[in-house]
């Protein structure tokens, strides 16, 4: 970030010697702090890539195989345990329960149902009818007579009629007079409260105007003091000190991170070149000079003859198996002919018939009659001769 960009970011801050000195000091300090962090970061990134490419796939495959083996073992174990538990439950619990249900509980239930339907139900029906007749005669009929001829007349003429007369002649006039008196009292109370409310509102309004004027004056004074003693110094500090320091620190971190990247890549290339000269080049020379000729010798002198011998042995074994199979088939066919006899189509000395063909088609039909090869009406050439 050059000087022009600094001036474009903050045009109110002049470019002076203290600013340049501050920029140089901050960049040096930040470079010293950031360089180890950047090298550690690049090393961690390289280690992560190596782990992702080299260590994680075998670890994943091993973990998958381990989980598969454990799952298979658990499946077998729980399957066997479940089968044993099922057999034990079926033998010791379900079969006795089935025998108990079919041999004991079912006959007992049928017997209890017959007893209930043939004996208990008619008895209960008769008993219920008798109890109902007794309740009706001894309880319901007397209560009905008592309600009609005693309770209803007593309540009507002893309670309802006097209460109605008392309400119409005494309570209604007294209630109307009380309501009129209360309405007049409420009107007087409402007029008094309204007058007091208006006077109190006027007094409170005048008091609020005085308090508002005093608050405005005090607020303006406090605002002036805050702006003069707090906001202006803070703004000057932020604009003249914090902004240049923050901008220079951010630019220094950016430049230091980039320089640390260059240094880290240079160190990495140097270490890679050193590792190549110490490990890679000797390993390559050994592979090309020693391992490759030895491998070619083993391939040409050991592996190729062994592969050819294995191929010859495989072909010989296949030929022996084919011969044995054909021999067995021929022996089975000869034994069948000796037991059953030769079919008529394969007996020697008997000519085979020519399969007939249908008209307009070349397909042979075994069940069709054989057609003559001469045209219809005879051979004209034979008549002329």
254 sits in which H/E element: helix 243-275
Helix (H, G, I), strand (E, B) or coil at 359: coil
Q: How many CB atoms lie within 10 A of CB 266?
A: 10
Q: Does residue 26 sit in helix, strand or coil?
A: helix
With vertex at residue 284, the alpha carbon angle to CA 283 and CA 288, rounded to the nearest 5 degrees, is 120
What is the rounded CA–CA span in Å between residue 209 and residue 204?
9
Range list of β-strands (E), 126-268? none
Cα 280–281–285 angle (5° rounding)?
115
DSSP string, 116-150: IIIIIHHHHHHHHHHHHHHHIIIIIHHHHHHIIII
Q: What is the pLDDT along the chain (385 residues), one digit of tens a residue?
A: 444 444 444 444 456 666 677 777 777 777 777 778 888 888 888 888 888 888 888 888 888 889 988 989 898 899 889 899 988 998 898 888 989 998 889 988 888 888 888 888 888 888 888 888 888 888 888 888 888 888 887 777 777 778 888 888 888 888 887 888 888 888 888 888 888 888 888 888 889 988 988 988 998 889 888 888 888 888 888 887 788 778 878 887 888 888 888 888 888 888 888 988 898 888 989 888 989 988 888 888 888 899 999 999 999 999 999 999 999 999 888 888 888 876 555 555 544 544 444 444 444 444 444 444 444 444 444 444 3
Task: Give pTM, 2 decimals.
Answer: 0.33
């Amino acid at each position: 970030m050059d000087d022009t960009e600094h001036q474009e970011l903050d045009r109110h801050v002049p470019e002076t010697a203290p600013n340049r000195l501050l920029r140089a000091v901050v960049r040096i300090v930040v470079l010293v702090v950031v360089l180890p962090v950047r090298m550690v970061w690049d090393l961690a990134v390289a280690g992560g890539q190596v782990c992702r490419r080299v260590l994680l796939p075998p670890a994943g495959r091993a973990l998958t195989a381990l989980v598969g083996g454990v799952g298979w073992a658990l499946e077998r174990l729980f399957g066997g345990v479940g089968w044993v538990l099922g057999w034990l439950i079926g033998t010791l619990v379900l079969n006795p329960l089935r025998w108990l249900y079919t041999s004991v509980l079912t006959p007992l239930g049928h017997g209890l149902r017959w007893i209930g339907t043939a004996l208990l139900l008619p008895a209960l029906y008769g008993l219920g009818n008798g109890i109902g007749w007794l309740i009706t005669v001894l309880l319901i009929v007397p209560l009905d007579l008592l309600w009609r001829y005693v309770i209803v007349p007593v309540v009507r003429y002893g309670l309802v009629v006097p209460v109605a007369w008392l309400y119409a002649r005494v309570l209604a006039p007294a209630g109307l007079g009380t309501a009129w008196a209360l309405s007049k009292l409420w009107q007087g109370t409402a007029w008094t409260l309204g007058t007091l409310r208006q006077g109190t509102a006027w007094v409170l309004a005048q008091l609020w105007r005085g308090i508002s004027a005093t608050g405005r004056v005090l607020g303006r004074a406090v605002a002036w003091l805050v702006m003069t003693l707090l906001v202006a110094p803070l703004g000057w500090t932020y604009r003249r000190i914090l902004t240049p320091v923050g901008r220079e620190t951010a630019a220094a971190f950016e430049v230091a991170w980039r320089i640390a990247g260059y240094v880290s890549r240079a160190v990495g290339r140097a270490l890679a070149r050193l590792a190549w000269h110490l490990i890679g080049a000797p390993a390559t020379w050994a592979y090309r000079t020693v391992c490759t000729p030895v491998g070619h010798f083993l391939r040409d002198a050991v592996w190729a003859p062994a592969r050819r011998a294995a191929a010859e042995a495989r072909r010989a074994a296949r030929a022996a198996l084919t011969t044995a199979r054909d021999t067995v088939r021929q022996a089975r066919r000869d034994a069948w002919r000796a037991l059953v006899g030769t079919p008529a189509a394969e007996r020697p000395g008997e000519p085979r018939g020519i399969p007939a063909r249908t008209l307009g088609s070349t397909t042979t039909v075994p069940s069709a009659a054989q057609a003559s090869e001469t045209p219809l009406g005879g051979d004209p050439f034979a008549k002329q001769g």
